[in-house]
Amino acid sequence: MSHVRYFYVWIALLVLTAITVTTAGLNVGRVGIIVVLVIAATKSTMVLLWFMHLRSEKRLLLKLLVPIAIATLAIFIGLTYTDILTR
């Protein structure tokens, strides 16, 4: 296993950062929040898979943990929205 892959991931992260900063400056309206969140999610996934070694993780439990956390948060936020957005 070589350490070069870590540099590739780092470059990718910096590129994605540049993209998200530029997009924000373009004033794309409501789509903007979705784009930045998708890019942030992509960056985080790369950190999780390569820097935090989830890609080579064998235990199913550990690979499921972050999806479980995201799902939990999504439910909490989603159900709270049913109140906040309909008042």
Partner 1 sequence: MELEARDQKVFSRVGMWLFLLSEILIFGGLFLVYAMYRAKHPADFHAASMELSRFDGTLNTTILLTSSLTAVLAIFSLQELNKPRRAALYLAATIGFGFAFLVVKAFEWGAKFQHGLYPRAAELGTRPHGEILYFGLYFTMTGLHALHVIIGMVVLSVMLAWVLGKKVTQQRSAVLENAGLYWHLVDIIWIFLFPLFYLIS
Partner 2 sequence: MASHAESAGHHTAFPWFTDHGRRPGLRGFLTSTNHKRIGMLYMAAVLSFFTIAVILGVLMRIQMLSPDSTFLTGQAYNAMFTVHGIIMIFLVVIPGIPTIFGNFFLPILIGGEDMSFPRLNLFSWYLYMTGAFVVLASLVLGTGPVDTGWTFYVPYSLKSTVNVPLAVFGVFLLGMSSILTGINIVTTTHQMRAPGMSFFRMPLSVWGLYSTAWVQVLATPVIGITLVLIMLERLFGIGVFDASKGGDPILYQHLFWIYSHPAVYIMILPAMGIISDLFPVFSRKNIFGYKTIAFSSLAIASVGSLVWGHHMYVSGQSDTASIVFSFLTFLVAVPSAIKVFNWVATMYKGSVKVDPPFLYALGFIALFAIGGLTGLVLGALSTDVHTHDTYFVVGHFHYIIFGGMGFGLFAALHYWFPKMFGKTYDFKFATVSFIVLFVEFNLFYMTMLILGWAGMPRRYYSYLPKYTDLQVIATVGSWIMVGGLGMMFGNLVHAFFRGKKAEANPWGGATLEWQISSPPSFENFEKVPVITHGPYVFAKEAKAGEKGK
The site for partner 1 (CB under 8 A) is made up of 1, 3, 6-7, 9-10, 13-14, 17, 20-21, 23-29, 32-33, 36-37, 39-40, 43-44, 47-48, 50-52, 59, 61-62, 65-66, 68-69, 72-73, 76-77, 80-81, 84-85
Of 31 and 84, nearer to partner 2 (C-beta) is 84
Token pair 């409501």 in the structure block, residue: 30
Which DSSP string corresponds to 12-59? HHHHHHHHHHHHHHT--TTHHHHHHHHHHHHHHHHIIIIIS--TT---
Spatial separation of the C-alpha atoms in residues 72 and 67, rounded to whole Å? 8
Part in contact with partner 2 (CB under 8 A); list of ranges 9-17, 20-28, 46-54, 71-79:
71-79
Spatial separation of the C-alpha atoms in residues 9 and 15, rounded to whole Å? 10
> Could you list the residues that contact partner 2 (CB under 8 A)?
61, 68-69, 72, 75-76, 79-80, 82-84, 86-87
